[in-house]
Amino acid sequence: MTSMSVGQFHLVGISFSFCFSLMAAATAFFWINRGQVTPNFRATITITGLVTLIAAYNYFRMFQSWEGAYQVADGTVKATGVAFNGMFRYADWVATVPLLLVELILVMRLPREETISRATRLSVLAVLMIVLGYPGEVASATSTRWIFGILSMLPFLWIVYELYSGLGDAISKQPDDARGLVTTARNLTVYVWFFYPVVYFVGAVGLDGATATTIIQIGYTIADLLAKAAFGVLIYMIAVRKSEAEMRSGGTQPAAAG
């Protein structure tokens, strides 16, 4: 990369710092407010916070790696020789993307057997999707980026299919209060996840160097904020509404243990 502007350098850096602060805040929110839902939903809220915690950690690392990779002197950006470490992003995704799918399934309170089989299948597909994408992300040849990008799309499309056809039934059985929100959470997952391959292929369409890097890093960061923190808030709201419904129908009480 030869020509990153000072503005591009700062913009990517501050987006990492901004994302770190919001992921950390989201984690605190989920865990501190966990007592607001009935015990049936507390593990879900704990996991929601795990996702944002792991993301906060990796964005902290990315910020430091970014600041260490470049120096601004005399109004120009120079590489320090220590390359920016993009593996933190993929390490983050391998850990958090399966957990995101588990969140969505857990908050639906499906029968135990179905929960386990769906969560396992979707998690395996998610890991496969990310592992297949990585060789393309770091490849210098555009053709390699296309090949692994397309390979990675196969498990991705399978996940989308599962979320619509497989979970469609389960969603229609959710309580009235929560059904709309569950549908929104499912749709947010699918829409935002389609944004990742769009960003990914920015690196394969001829845009080059600093501009591509800036778009890719900021694009992924925005997508992560939506897919993890905003999605988590939706999961939290679903859990609160379903807890209220449970209490109205004389089920478990909310108070007691955290």
Which positions touch a copy of itself (CB under 8 A)? 10, 13-14, 17-18, 20-22, 24-25, 28-29, 31-36, 39, 42-43, 46-47, 49-50, 53-54, 57-58, 61, 71-73, 81-83, 85, 87-88, 90-92, 94-95, 254-258
Q: Which is nearer to a copy of itself, 31 or 146 (CB)?
A: 31
Report the number of secondary-structure helices (H) and strands (E) in the chain: 9, 2
Q: Which is nearer to a copy of itself, 4 or 22 (CB)?
A: 22
What is the Cα–Cα distance from 165 to 141, expressed in whole angstroms?
Answer: 37
Under a CB-based contact definition with an 8 Å cutoff, are residues 118 and 126 in contact?
A: no
Q: Which is nearer to a copy of itself, 39 or 175 (CB)?
A: 39
Q: Which is nearer to a copy of itself, 82 or 157 (CB)?
A: 82
Half-sphere CA count of 63, side-chain side, radius 13 A: 17
Q: What is the closest distance, in whole angstroms, from the C-beta atom of residue 29 to a copy of itself in the complex?
A: 6
Q: Which is nearer to a copy of itself, 83 or 124 (CB)?
A: 83
Q: What is the DSSP code string of 20-61?
A: HHHHHHHHHHHHHGGGGS-GGGHHHHHHHHHHHHHHHHHHHH
Q: What is the closest distance, in whole angstroms, from the C-beta atom of residue 24 to a copy of itself in the complex?
A: 7
Q: What is the closest distance, in whole angstroms, from the C-beta atom of residue 10 to a copy of itself in the complex?
A: 6
Q: What is the closest distance, in whole angstroms, from the C-beta atom of residue 118 to a copy of itself in the complex?
A: 17
β-strand partners of 72:
77
Q: What is the closest distance, in whole angstroms, from the C-beta atom of residue 23 to a copy of itself in the complex?
A: 11
First to last CA, the chain: 50
Determine if residue 110 is left, alpha or beta; phi over 0 gives left, psi from -120 to 50 gives alpha, anything else beta.
Answer: beta
Under a CB-based contact definition with an 8 Å cutoff, are residues 213 and 197 in contact?
A: no
Under a CB-based contact definition with an 8 Å cutoff, are residues 20 and 92 in contact?
A: no
Task: Measure Cα distances from 225 to 144, 156, 175, 185, 235 in Å.
Answer: 28, 19, 28, 14, 14
Q: Which is nearer to a copy of itself, 116 or 154 (CB)?
A: 116
Q: Which is nearer to a copy of itself, 206 or 248 (CB)?
A: 248
Strand intervals (E) in the chain: 70-73, 76-79
What is the Cα–Cα distance from 229 to 55, expressed in whole angstroms?
Answer: 9
Q: What is the closest distance, in whole angstroms, from the C-beta atom of residue 54 to a copy of itself in the complex?
A: 5
Show the tokens assigned to 130.
């990310």
Q: What is the closest distance, in whole angstroms, from the C-beta atom of residue 87 to a copy of itself in the complex?
A: 4
